[in-house]
Structures are given as C-alpha cells and as structure tokens.
A and B are shown apart, each in its own frame.
Chain A
C-alpha cells in the first residue's frame, strides 16, 4: 500500500505535537486528557502500521526536511525508513500504547499526571525519531530527547529516595554516553563533511579516527542498551520506575540497541567486511566480541536474577539476560555473515528483539499490578495471591513461560532459531544459551511459587483484582504473545526477514540516497 512521503514526518510529529498539547487539554479535564493521549498514540500506531505496509512492499522510504535541491550549502535532515527501522517503530508504538492504557488506572492516584503523559509522548517521539532518522546528528538529538524524558519518568515518584537515585544514575550514564556519541559524530563530520548515514557509509575509509569513532559509538550505545559490563544502571532504573514506565524503558533501551546495529551494519558495513587485521576480517572480530559480551550478559543476568528478592529488579536482570540472547543471535549473524545459519541467527536475534519487548513488558505490567493491589514488591512478603488475582496469575504464567522460551509461546520461536544457529557456530554457545533458559525458568517458577502460590496471607485477605484498564493492557500483550507463538512463520516472513535483509543489505540503504540523488 502506498502512503505519501510525509507519513514519515508525521510519525514523529504527531506524538511531539501531542506532548505539548497534553498540558493544555489537561487543564480542561483529567479524563479528557487520558482519552486525548490514547487517541494520539493510537493515531500514531495507525500511521506506523500504514508506513510499515508501504515500506515492506515498496522498499526504503525517505523524507527530506529542508533543502530539496542539492545546491551548496545543503542544509537538510533526511529521514530514511527501511524494514529494520519500521520493525523497531512497531515495537515502540505497541508498547507505548499499552503502557498508556495501563497508566489510566495504575497512575490514577498520582498528581502531576499532565507532565507524566507529556513526558511519555516526548519519549515516544524520541524513540521513533531515533529509529527513523537517517542523519547522525539528528540521531543524537533524538537520543537526548529520549534520555531526558525517560530520566524524568524514572524519577517520577520523587517522594521515594530510590527513584531519584536511579534517575540520577540513569542521567549520568546517558548524558555521558550521548556526549561520546556526539564526539564520534564530530570525528566523522570533520573527516567526511557529511552527517547523513548513507552518505557517510559510502565514503568511509576506516582511518585511525574512524576506529576511535566506531569504538565510541558502540560503547556509548551498548551502554545505553545495557549490555553486561555496562548494565549496572538497568536494574536500578527498571526496578525503581513506575511499572508503566518500565515497559516503555524496555523499548527505549531497544532503540539504543538499534543504534548499535545501524552503526555496525550500515555505517561501517561497507568497510568492516573488507578490512582484515591479522588475517581475520574486522567484522568477524567484532562479531565474536558481541558474542562474548552476549554470553556474559546471559550468565550474569540469570545468576543475578536468582538472588534477587525484589520482584521488579528480578525481572530487570531477566531483561539483561534476554538482551544477551538478542546480541548472541546478531553476533552469530555477523560472524557467519553470508552462510545459511548466519542468516537464521540474524532472524532469531531480530525476532527476539520483539519477543523480549513483549515478554519482559508483560512481566513488568504484572509486577506493577501486584504492587497496585498489595503495595508490595518484595518477594519475601508476598504469597497466596493466585486466590484473589486470577487473571493476573494467568498473565504472569504466560509471561514467564514466554521469557523462559517454552513452546508454544513466542519466546520459544525466536530462541529455537538462536539455539540451532549458534550450535553450528560453536556448540558451547548453544549449550550455555539453553542452560540459562532453563535457569531463567527456575527463577520464575520460584517467583511464581512465592508470590502466587502457598497459603493465603492474612494481610492480603482483602486484595482485589486490578482494574479493567490494567487487565485489558496485559491482555493485549498476552494475546500478541500467544499469537506470535502459534504463528511465528507469519511474523518471520513478513516482518523479521525484511528487517534482517535490510540490515545485511547496506548497499541498498546507501544507494537510495547517494545514487538516487535524493
């Protein structure tokens, strides 16, 4: 289906405009404001799906802000949307919409909700901008928008010391990371006089300065994505933020992950495969580095999750392990680029991005529901909740089985692809991955037992099921999880394969701008 080019701009513009209108609407009526925000996000999701149907059928779509012709000096920003970008945009818009529906009841008793919803819409604009833009500096700007908004949201409960502390940690990490990104952009700009990703990647030489820029970009973006040696902020911020925010943070983290892939596959895609150090092509070296980081992430994430007593921190460490699985799939894809199992690994890694966002998101929502009903997140003090919260229990079972990769849920579909492809690269990797999945299952069975099973505790006698809007939003995600688990082929063929091809086929991304003369 064909949509006009300006849809690309609207996808970012609609939430941005909504963000600034929200406080005005909020002055009229609280309910009206909530409806307004949901309508804005639904409209946005609709636009994203329209754009997706176009990009997936007709190929890369571009939109130019500023100068249309190429007379010097060219002052313009280019948005370039390929299948990978739109894949990430779909994840973001689903998660944000669900989180806002969930917030309706979850945040009802809080004050300052005008600011809360404004920040959510700003964060949405930032995330979507990050994944849709084709310009390095613009990427930095959206990165900063999303980090500022998410930091303010993490520290939203300023009456709690922990939230503020986590917010400060997050802003220090992301401010430093973003400045490194800017420094790397300056290094590239100084050499090639270009900011456009496609243009840069067509002329990049892999000089000494380019190596520094590559290291800075990967380190800063991987830090924001929460890969293990740099994961310390992630459990703090996921654990201290309101649950509705934790699920949005998952997708904000994944947008940074997208940045890592864009840098490796597209920006440096042209040179990394052609240059060899000590007889090994550089991209194989980087691929092994990513695989190593991924294995460490999986191990540390699972082991740390075992010893947690706080529900949300436990899920956050589970999320670290899940990030490891994505990196494992994509790292294997880079090492074995060009082979059949390399392609499978890449598919698995990309499919797992979506599955992880849904599964971990659902678990965060369940944790939030338990907090809403009992005002308690410590697992030591919970117990016997299945008696009073039937639906939440069902959603939790779906969520944790999906995270642990049990058939027939979606986590299984992507993890199977990752297992079978990493086995061909090195059996040890697959063994570690499977063992850690089992451990993850053990962790969540423990949680399930201590929070939902057991005798009814007297203080939780009057606990009621959570309100409908929360059940509804958890239900949406649970439905998507089950559908993806039952029909993984459909998603893989229609969304994941094009995304993987878009990552590998950097020449198409480049030629769209450089040869096409846009």
Chain B
C-alpha cells in the first residue's frame, strides 16, 4: 500500500490541475493548473523508474545494490526543461493580456467573438 502513495499523489496532482484549469477564472491560476498537471506527469515518470530500496543510478561510484532506472529520469529532466519554457511563455502572455485588457478575469478577456 505504501508504495502506491506516489501514484495517488500523481492522480491528485493531475486532477487538481485539471480542476484549476477548467473552473478557475484567473489566468494566473490557470497557469498554476498547467504546472500542477506537469508536476503530476513528471512524478509519474520518476515513480515508474523507482524500484524498492534502489539507489541513484551513478555507475562510477555505485556502492552496489539495486539502482533506479535512469531513462525515466532523463525523460523527466527533458520534460522539466520544456515545462519551464512553456510556463515562461504563458506568463509573458498573461502579462501582455493584463496590459491590453486591464484584467486577468477570463470572462472579461474575450474580444475574439464566436
């Protein structure tokens, strides 16, 4: 049971993120929602590579024993880097939106009609 906690955390993070993305009216909170989903997915990748009592996968100075699988960690690093770029772009767009509309409320940011 104890080993399932990371997976529960993954589900909780992704659902919280989706909730924030769908129901929150503030643009910054939507950005936070995306960040939460991203953390959830990253945690999922890391958890997949972990084995019971494993150590960090550094081959040159390994004391022996089970090592965590390194590939998911590499994937996560890439995903984090991409995530930073996305979040930075989103926040800069939020800044521009605030400059044009004077508000961060999604209900008022709608010059694009149907």
The interface of chain A, by Cβ under 8 A from chain B, is 73, 75, 137, 140-141, 144, 148, 151-152, 155, 158, 160-162, 164-168, 171-172, 175-176, 179, 182-183, 186, 189-190, 236, 239-240, 304
Contact = CB atoms under 8 A, between A and B. Distances in A.
B96 A155 contact: yes
A71 B107 CA distance: 56
B100 A161 contact: yes
A158 B41 contact: no
A164 B90 contact: no
A168 B90 contact: yes
Contact of A171 (B70, B90, B101): B90
B68 interface: no
B93 A189 contact: no
A183 to B, nearest CB: 5
Contact of B89 (A148, A166, A183, A236): A148
Contacts of A165: 97, 109-112
Interface in B44-84: 44-45, 48, 70-72, 75, 78-79, 82
Given A73-B71, A175-B90, A186-B41, A164 B112 contact: no
B94 interface: yes
Contacts of A148: 82, 85-86, 89
B112 A166 contact: yes
B48 A172 contact: no
27 contacts: A73-B71, A137-B78, A141-B82, A144-B85, A148-B85, A152-B89, A161-B100, A161-B101, A162-B111, A162-B112, A165-B97, A165-B110, A165-B111, A165-B112, A166-B112, A168-B93, A171-B89, A171-B90, A172-B30, A172-B90, A175-B38, A179-B41, A182-B41, A183-B14, A183-B44, A186-B41, A304-B114
A224 to B, nearest CB: 14
Interface residues on B, range: 20 to 34
Interface in B11-37: 14, 21, 27, 30, 34, 37
B34 A186 contact: no
B39 to A, nearest CB: 10
Given A171-B90, A186-B48, 16 more contacts: A73-B71, A141-B78, A141-B82, A144-B86, A148-B85, A148-B89, A158-B96, A164-B93, A168-B27, A168-B90, A168-B93, A171-B89, A175-B90, A179-B37, A239-B112, A240-B112
A176 B37 CA distance: 8
Complex A-B, nearest 10 residue pairs according to Cβ-Cβ distance, in ascending order:
A161-B100, A190-B48, A164-B96, A168-B93, A144-B82, A236-B112, A175-B86, A183-B41, A186-B45, A179-B37
Given A148-B85, A164-B100, A183-B44, A75 B93 contact: no
Nearest to A181: B41
A493 to B, nearest CB: 41
